[in-house]
Amino acid sequence: MCIFCKIINKEIPANVIAEDENCLAFHDINPKAPVHILAIPKIHVDSFNEVTPQIMENMTTFMQNVAKEVGIDQNGYRVITNIGENGGQEVQHLHFHILGGAKLKWGHFSDSDPKDFL
Ligand code: AMP
């Protein structure tokens, strides 16, 4: 069973923020912004590659509500999902990073030369 399924099953602890029938949100253990939340579907999906529109429908409303609950919806935030090896995905259970609480840099995306990646 994957680590996020274990969190869903309460086999390992997490700092849970919100939960409904289909989704769970908890603080990232290694935050990269003042607010760094992970939102996941309760059903196991490996990545965005496999997600269905039905799951995304649930997750979209859920994540909008989480952003409101933690008070980042008005000032803005970022939603990211990493996919596969090139995307830097470490946990093979679909998750959306919700990052906020400060003006986020675009970092290496804006500063780098695309050729750096070749
Ligand atoms: P990714 O690289 O997109 O797969 O992101 C995986 C994220 O999961 C990383 O930001 C980790 O810090 C986070 N993470 C891994 N294990 C846990 C855990 N047990 N509780 C909370 N966050 C975790």
Q: What domains does the chain contain, in order, with CATH numbers? A: 8-105 (3.30.428.10)
Terminal alpha carbon distance of the chain: 35
- 10 Å Cβ neighbour count for 96? 23
- Output the pLDDT for position 110: 58
What's the pTM? 0.94
Q: What is the pLDDT of residue 118?
A: 67
In this prediction, residue 106 carries a pLDDT of 82
Q: What pLDDT does residue 117 have?
A: 62
Full strand arrangement of the beta sheet holding 16-19:
16-19, 23-27, 35-41, 96-100, 77-80
Look up residue 110 and give its two tokens. 């804006």
Checking DSSP bridges between strand 35-41 and strand 16-19, what pairing results, if any?
unpaired
Instruction: Give the residue, out of 6, 16, 30, with the most ligand 1 atoms within 8 A of its beta carbon, to mutate for a pocket test.
Output: 30
Task: Say what the pLDDT of residue 113 is.
Answer: 72
pLDDT value at position 7? 98
| pLDDT for residue 62 | 98
Residue 21 Cα, ligand 1 centroid: separation in angstroms?
A: 22
The finding on whether 3 has its CB within 6 A of some atom of ligand 1 is: yes
Give the model's pLDDT for residue 112: 66
Residue corresponding to tokens 């274990």: 6
Residues of the chain with pLDDT under 70: 107-112, 114, 117-118
The sign of the CA dihedral 61, 41, 24, 15 is negative
